[in-house]
Every structure is written in structure tokens, then in C-alpha cells.
Amino acid sequence: MMIVMRHDARPQDVERVLERVRALGFTPHLSQGHERVVIGVIGEARRADPGAFVHLPGVARVVPISRPYKLSSREFHPDNSVVQVGPAGFGGEDIVIIAGPCSVESRSQMLEIAHAVKEAGAHMLRGGAFKPRTSPYSFQGLGEEGLRYLAEAREATGLPVVTEVMAVDQVDLVAQYTDMFQIGARNMQNFALLKAVGKRQVPVLLKRGMSATLSEFLLAAEYILVAGNSQVVLCERGIRTFEPSTRNTTDINAVPVLKASTHLPVIVDPSHSTGHWAYVTPVARAAIAAGADGLIIEVHPRPEEALSDGAQSLKPERFAQLVREVRAIAELVRPRTASLVPGGNHGSAPGV
């Protein structure tokens, strides 16, 4: 942390800041610049709070220097982590493709889609039983009944499943049926929930909040890691911007920035990040080309009848085409992804 003094700060103002730094157990380091004094705060600065200084006379502002996250940081853990869910290894040599409906709607729907996406080349199955819906008047999911259908589809196809858990009191129930928890974008900073899944040894698919910075995203992952669960996969699912022509804006930059900042695997959800089926395939290709470790895609055999997110669901035959296209790109770029984060003697990516 750097405390930037005002141009007109008096010697006694500087002295008082130095005292306060020391009083908090840190070591101050004074730097007399051209126009102003800057005071570095040396110590485990991750725990220091700017609020401790901004009220002092002569202080212009406080600039953080250290990264606030640590366990998720690639700087302290240079090698890729691989998160294994059955045969699928996120962050390994091959990309992992998750597919399925937005919501589990019925037993027959779930089985039909599971077989279709398996045949098309998916490695895992998705489907929501508990649905976070913006409007209370929208379909809220089948609950445990949906979880049962999902488990049945896993038995029938051998595909591991991922499904969303929305509340602490659902964690036990969902854990009985799923191979991987999904924490949705709206719950990325539901810290009680993060702590609860952090206590389980079940892999977690953590979606970025729709206005979360990448630093906040890594801190949300850090909550899970600190609690003891190191199996976290990050998912870029689009951020909220001013552009109205798509549901969200896919932050494609996030892929190389996250790969440089963290050892955790990174996947992309082009269904939510675009909001329209016609844009899903090009953005899926882009994600893999940018170095993503996988994709999560909404597929529905009759999207116009879907109870949620029909607009952004692909039909199985389009999804099969998507799988062919992204695999061809993965073959081109995967051997090269190691070079995306060049080592110390060629300069470094800044990360978050």
C-alpha cells in the first residue's frame, strides 16, 4: 500500500502518517518525490485498510500495491491446477465441454438431451433444478425432482453432472446428486454459500458475477480455497455493459488475464454471455482460441418450448457442429497455451 501525500502536506502531517503506519505494526518507507511525498507500507499489507489513513491531514489518497488474493494466485503457484470431475480434467491438455438444458423440465426432456449431447461430444451434463430467476413470475425449477432426473441422466449416459446450488440449506441435498456444484453469477458474492461449498470436497464451478472485476472474482474463489476446497473452476459468463444488442458482453480479455493471474482452470459460457443462439458458436470458437479450458453450453431439442433461456439454447445438431469447430481450434492452440504466460526473462503479463 502506498500513501500519497498532498503537494502541500506539512512535515507534521507526514510525521503523523509515519506514526500511524508504525502503530498498526507496519514499517513505513518514505519516498520524497518531485512534487510530493509517498509513503510505502511494508508488511502483510493485504490486511491493511486504506480507511486507516484517508482521514489523516495531508493525505491525498491511498494506492493498493499487493494483490489481495493469494491461494488462487499464479505468482505463488506457477503450474496449472487440474480439476478432475470423473473423466473430465479441467485445465489439462484437452478442453472440457459441458452441455445441457438451462432448466431440468421433465424426466424425458433430460434423458433426451443427455443422450443427444453425449453423442455430439459433450463431456459433462448441465441442468438447473433450483433456478435463480429475475422475476418471481418465471419458472423456478423442479427442485429435488429435477436433481433426480439429472442423476438418472448421468446413470444412463455416464456423463458427470453439474447443477446450481442457490442457498446454504440446499448444499447437503444437492451434494447427494451432483458431481460438481455450480455457484451462479448472482451468488458469486454470497459469501455464506462460498464458505459452505468450501467445506465440501466436491468440485465447484464458480461463475463470475455480472459486474465483478477479475480481482473480486479471484477473491470469491479465494473464499472457497481458504475454506479448504481447492477444486475450483472459473467461468466467464459475460459482464454487464452499456451495449444493448446482446444479453451480456463476453469479456474475452478475461481469458488470458485470468490464465496469467491464476493457476485455476477457466471456462466460458457463451450462451449467457451472448444471450442468443445465433452468436453462441462464434463466441465459443473465440473462447477456445483465446485459451479457455472449456465451455458450458445450453442445448435444448425444442428451444421454442424451453421453460427458460430458450432464446440462447442451441439445437443438438448445431451443438454437434460447435463441438467439431471448437475441437479443431483446440488442436491448433492448446500446445501453445503454455506460451501465453511468458516467464520472467521475457517480460510478464500483468494479470489482475
Rounded to the nearest angstrom, the gap between the alpha carbon of residue 301 and the centroid of all alpha carbons in its chain is: 28
**Residue 35 interacts with its own copies (CB under 8 A)?**
yes
CA dihedral 341, 343, 346, 352 (to 10 degrees): 50
**Residue 175 interacts with its own copies (CB under 8 A)?**
no
Nearest approach, Cβ of residue 255 and its own copies (Å): 7
Interface with its own copies (CB under 8 A), residue from 49, 93, 119, 145: 49
**Residue 106 interacts with its own copies (CB under 8 A)?**
no
What are the C-alpha distances in Å from 256 to residues 193, 226, 322? 28, 24, 22
Judged by CB under 8 A, the chain residues 311 through 350 that form the site for its own copies are: 311-313, 325, 328-329, 332-333, 336, 340-342, 344-350
Nearest approach, Cβ of residue 306 and its own copies (Å): 6
Judged by CB under 8 A, the chain residues 263 through 282 that form the site for its own copies are: 273-274, 276-279, 281-282
What residues have CB less than 8 Å from 338, skipping those under 6 apart?
none
Strand-pair category, 232-236 with 180-183: unpaired
x-marked contacts with its own copies along 238-267 as a string, rule CB under 8 A = -xxxxxxxx--xxxxxxxxx--xx------
Residue with Cβ nearer its own copies (21 or 85): 21
Nearest approach, Cβ of residue 328 and its own copies (Å): 5
**Residue 18 interacts with its own copies (CB under 8 A)?**
no
Residue with Cβ nearer its own copies (108 or 345): 345
# of chain residues touching its own copies (CB under 8 A): 140
**Residue 7 interacts with its own copies (CB under 8 A)?**
yes
Exposed/middle/buried for 116, CB within 10 Å: 0-12, 13-18, 19+? Answer: buried
**Residue 309 interacts with its own copies (CB under 8 A)?**
yes
What residues have CB less than 8 Å from 343, skipping those under 6 apart?
none
What is the rounded distance in angstroms from the CA atom of residue 285 to the CA atom of residue 297? Answer: 12
Query: Do the Cβ atoms of 295 and 272 come closer than 8 Å?
Result: no
Residue with Cβ nearer its own copies (86 or 327): 327
Nearest approach, Cβ of residue 315 and its own copies (Å): 8
What is the rounded distance in angstroms from the CA atom of residue 310 to the CA atom of residue 40? Answer: 53
Residue with Cβ nearer its own copies (108 or 336): 336
Compute how many other C-beta atoms are within 10 angstroms of the C-beta atom of residue 304. 8
CA dihedral 20, 26, 29, 35 (to 10 degrees): -40
Judged by CB under 8 A, the chain residues 153 through 172 that form the site for its own copies are: 166-170
